[in-house]
Structure 1
Amino acid sequence: MGGTAADAAVAATLAACVAETIFTGLGGGGYATYFEASTGRVTCLDFFVAMPGLDGDRKAEPMRPIAVRFGEVPLPYEIGGASVAVPGLPAGCGEIHSRWGALSWADVVAPAAELARAGVAMPVAHAVTLPSLIEAMLPGQGGSAYAPGGRLLQGGDRLFHAGLADALDILAADGPGTCYTGKLGAAVVESVRADGGALGPLDLSAYQVLERAVNSAELGGSTVLGRADLNRTVQTLRALPPDLADLPHPERAVVLADALDVRGPDDRLGDTTNVTAVDDAGNACVITTTLGLGSGVWLPGLGVHLNSMLGEGELYSGELAPGERLASMMCPLVVLGPGGALRLAIGSAGASRIRSALLRTLVGVLIDDLPTRDAVRAPRLHPVDDVVHVEPHFPVPEEMALADSGYTVNRWAARSHYFGGVSAIGTTGASGDPRRGGTARLLG
């Protein structure tokens, strides 16, 4: 349609708010990294969720504890109106579009609204995850969407959120501001406060998209650029040995595991989604977003599920002042070649596994010269304390080297969304991640 990478990425992110609603939605937040080919400038935008409380006119009631299951382990979590942080996704999409888009806002929102009107096929990878999340997904309007007739959706079943098309139509007609000072914003405040939360009109009207510092690391003769995240992704890349390319693969696996070593809890579900877009001018836009698990609070008649980010213990310690941003492990990246041209645009879902998924894929493309598709599909590892989790097809010599170096290796029996969800576009092709039902499209 003549749009830019920004138009495509925003349209796809809004489409994800229809099709990947167990991962993301209009009530969530995220980050974007944009590469402008004409100037060579890289920009990192922060539109993650913020701490409510600026109105100061009420105290939030206690959240509602639930248990979700990841594998065989029940994980504590909390939902309800008090778990809802100030959403940033609509503001972020609007900011990206206003800075770098070429199409009208209404044209960018229209495809998502059409998807919402018809409903979409539930991705198989998401249907497999759904049973773990039912305590967060089924309250309120979630039951009719995810378990119509009392039966959980299976892969290929129609996922339909009644009223979501109307919400997107309002967004298209009134602009992103409607989520903060307009019709949708008023619905957010009313719904959250009716369920015991304290989020108010001032929290929404004061929300702003922030521009963050861009950090860089050299890898394989290219420059990787992105924000400083809770995972320290760029810093981890910067600390890799300069002779990484010369190391035998078994020895390299140990080096990567040591660099990624995570000490402490590593049990977040990682319900995030990532969109990557590159246009024919060489501009790139990578957007990573999340809803948490969803708070069980929905906008009445509008099919919008609000985030539960304050119920994420690892992100919110109770020490943030109203208006401050929560921390996040999301880290959309762009990679520039020696001449400054775009070589790769890449991001991932997966909480603490975002870093290991990105690192393994970046090494595949930049060190091993793998096509993008092969690098995304290559077997991954993720260390937690003295245990290294590896995928079923992880090379045996690398597993043996990890064991010899003192790690306990846990080889998973099947491919899992645990290992992240990378989407990448590079000079050697494009790929979504099969672990999370990802896909890629090259348009003429």
Structure 2
Amino acid sequence: MLNRLSSLFAAFLLVLTAPLAAAQGVTSSADPRATEAGRQILHQGGSAADAAVAMVAVLTLVEPQSSGVGGGGFLVYHDQKDGITTIDGRETAPAAAKTDRFLGADGKPRPFMDVVPGGLSVGVPGNVRLMEMAHKKWGKLDWAALLQPAIKLAEEGFEVTPVLHDWLTRYEPVWKDFPVARAIYYVDGKPAPVGTRIKNPAYAALLRDLAARGPDAFYSGANARAIVDAVGQAPRNPAVITMADLAAYRAKERPAVCTSYRIYKVCGMGPPSSGATTVFGILGMVEGWDMKTMGKDNPMSWHLLAEAMQFAYADRAKYLGDADFVSVPVAGLLDKQYLAQRRDLISPFGPAGDYPAGSPPGAEPRTASGPVAESGTTHFVVVDRDGNVASMTSTVESIFGSQLIANGHFLNNEMTDFDLNPMRDGAPAANRVEPGKRPLSSMSPTIVYGPDGKVVLAVGSAGGKRIIMHVTKTLIGVLDWGLSAEEAIALPNLFFGREGVLIEDNEAGRAIAAKMKPFGYSFTPAAIGSKLNAAERVDGVWRGAADPRGPGTATVDGAPPQG
């Protein structure tokens, strides 16, 4: 009798706790303090959009090298009632920006690191308008409440992490011209040591103003004037952003770009992001092979992925740009018949060697764009108790953006995500500078739906042009190889360069590279870091995952941080 009662009681507990576990919120980010801020908002009854706003505000403070309110971002959002949509908070070129912005007196593009520091590289920030739109559409808590975790950290102080200290040290030679940055992050004339508690009263004052007067306070009045002055009076490359530029900025709601991959529906961000089209182009090519049977340890899996990668990136370079300014054949790039034709160029017996762009349906004649790479980038994922999902990638472009600070936060250098050379092969480049235009990006926030129509995975990464491949290999790891999100994130990163195909220089990457040699082609081990974050639904229960390569964490509301 006792055993029977125990069994019944255990069954009762299982029924009682299973729905609660499934309904818990999840946050995952590249910094534990942002992860915790999101969890706090969820615990207060906030939505995924509410938590996202809080996390952007905290990441601005604790991860200043990567993202912030002085930059921009892309949000892919699943709403349980209305489905999926995206918000484009990408920065825009100011009205004074001309196509020859980055050309020298000789008519040739100036060196990249010559134009990054200072005012010339700053675009009109978009993240605050993105945050505003997300909160208006899906928020549940008061706007002011969402900024409180960041205000508390800014006023009471936050500790310098090893990652932040490392970047401060690396950029020490650059900061000789940037005293405002040094005033916040230096101690006794040197980069703040690990564990130093830094306060940022200027940023706290900005957030208190935004809490009291709303997002308009960022784009007008004294706060906007501080941005205008920081750019116009920059110690290097002073330039013009006007109050009118800031007042005119608008985030844009755009339809998600979606396609099928095997039994799944995958959705992401359309132009000016190249993320969805390129990630889904790679998936569309490898879909013709049985990646599941080959598995993650088979060199053929990685060879096919590497070949598809290079063909998809060739299309990216030729056709992607801001669709408000140039024609982007999104449907053609995702056309299954077109991708089958691209797949036919891939041989299982060796590399193609040459990877020209194709001719997708609906494409206009186009020349290839130059390199675009955002390195100062972060990603986070939120799932609330109602099942709403936010997958957001945010950036200031390079590390510490332009190195300029206004109101306690760094301003982006997003203008250098445009082609520095406005002409390619005698024709205007699709990604050339134009007033009001948004530069091309590789940010790839992604949401995946299972056969039942429910979200099963949300993922994204930092890493410049490599973002696309970080996300792609994670998707294949989960959807084809049956790995957990955590295991898939830990798979070796893959990319390409002058040395050919590059694979992450770790134990797993070196093992795959060694297996390639007998086939007559090689992968070169290289330092390819990533900053992936994800959330996945397994057996009805959500769980988060963070990249083991960094300090990121994932947590469930009510549970201690993991990872």
Which TM-score tier does this pair reach, normalised by the shorter chain? 0.7 to 0.9
CA distance in 2, matches of 1:125, 1:298: 20
Q: Secondary structure at the match of 2:461?
A: strand
Q: Map of 1:35-434 to 2, 5 A cutoff?
A: 35-39=78-82, 41-53=83-95, 77-136=115-174, 139-195=178-234, 196-228=238-270, 229-231=273-275, 232-242=278-288, 243-248=290-295, 249-261=298-310, 268=373, 270-293=375-398, 294-299=401-406, 302-312=407-417, 314=419, 317=422, 319-385=432-498, 386-396=500-510, 398-404=512-518, 407-412=521-526, 418-428=528-538, 429-434=543-548
- The amino acid that maps onto 2:84 is V
Query: In 2, distance between residues paired with 1:233 and 1:292?
Result: 20
* Residue 403 (structure 1) shift: 3.7
Query: Equivalents in 2 of 1:47, 1:336: separation in Å?
Result: 24
Structure 1 residue 396 displacement after superposition: 5.0
Q: Deviations over 1:2-57 (max 9, x none)?
A: 01111111111111011100111221111100001223x1111111110002699x
Deviation at residue 275 of structure 1 after TM alignment: 1.3
Which blocks of at least 5 consecutive residues in structure 2 are unaligned? 1-43, 318-369, 423-430, 559-563
| Alpha-carbon distance between aligned partners in 1 of 2:418 and 2:518, rounded to the nearest angstrom | 35
Relative distance call for 1:366 and 1:136 in structure 2 (3 A) is: farther
**By how many angstroms is 1:67 displaced?**
8.8
Partner of 2:338: none
Q: What SS is found at the alignment partner of 2:227? A: helix
Q: Distance in 2 between matches of 1:316 and 1:436?
A: 35
Q: Decide which moves more: 289-298 or 10-19.
A: 289-298
CA change 1:309–1:404 in 2 (3 A) is farther
The 1-side partners of 2:373 and 2:549 are apart by: 17
Q: 1:127, 1:334 → 2: CA distance? A: 33
* Aligned match of 1:22: 65
* Aligned equivalent of 1:72: none
Moved more, 342-351 or 195-204: 195-204
Look up the equivalent residue of 2:394 and give its one-letter code: T
- Aligned partner of 2:172: which letter? I
Counterparts of 1:221 and 1:345, CA distance in 2 = 16
Q: Is the 8 A contact 1:309 1:315 kept in 2?
A: no
Amino acid at match of 2:280: V
- CA deviation profile, 1:233-280 (whole Å, cap 9, x unmatched): 222222223322222422101111112225798794611011110011
Aligned sequence identity (%): 28
RMSD: 2.9
- Cα separation, partners in 2 of 1:266 and 1:61, compared to 1, 3 Å: closer
Normalized against structure 2, the TM-score is what? Answer: 0.70
Structure 2 CA distance for aligned equivalents of residues 2 and 137 of structure 1: 42
Tell whether the 8 Å contact from 1:37 to 1:341 is kept in structure 2 after alignment: no
Q: Larger C-alpha radius of gyration, 1 or 2?
A: 2
> 1:442, 1:67 → 2: CA distance?
45
- SS of the equivalent of 1:281 reads coil
Q: Partner letter of residue 219 of structure 1?
A: Y
Separation of aligned partners in 1, 2:115 and 2:507: 32
Q: CA–CA distance in 1 between the matches of 2:281 and 2:56? A: 27
C-alpha contact (below 8 Å) 1:140/1:296 kept by paired residues: no
Aligned-partner residue type, residue 131 of structure 2:
C
Cα distance between partner residues in 2 of 1:372 and 1:46: 26
* Amino acid across the alignment from 2:305: L
Amino acid at match of 1:420: S
- Cα gap change, 1:315 to 1:326, in 2 (>3 Å): farther
Structure 1 residues 396-431: Cα deviation after superposition (integer angstroms, max 9, x where no partner): 55223444555443324xxx6x43211101114211
Q: Which has the higher helix share?
A: 2
Cα displacement string for residues 262-311 of structure 1 (whole angstroms, at most 9, x for unaligned residues): 57987946110111100111110111111123223222xx3122112224
- Post-superposition Cα deviations, 1:161-206, rounded to whole Å, max 9, x if no partner, equal 3411111111111111111123311221232223322111221111
Deviation at 1:62, TM superposition (A): 9.2
Deviation of 1:356 after TM superposition, in Å, equals 1.2
Unmatched tracts of structure 1, length 5 or more? 69-74
Q: How far apart, CA to CA, are the structure 2 residues paired with 1:394 and 1:121? A: 33
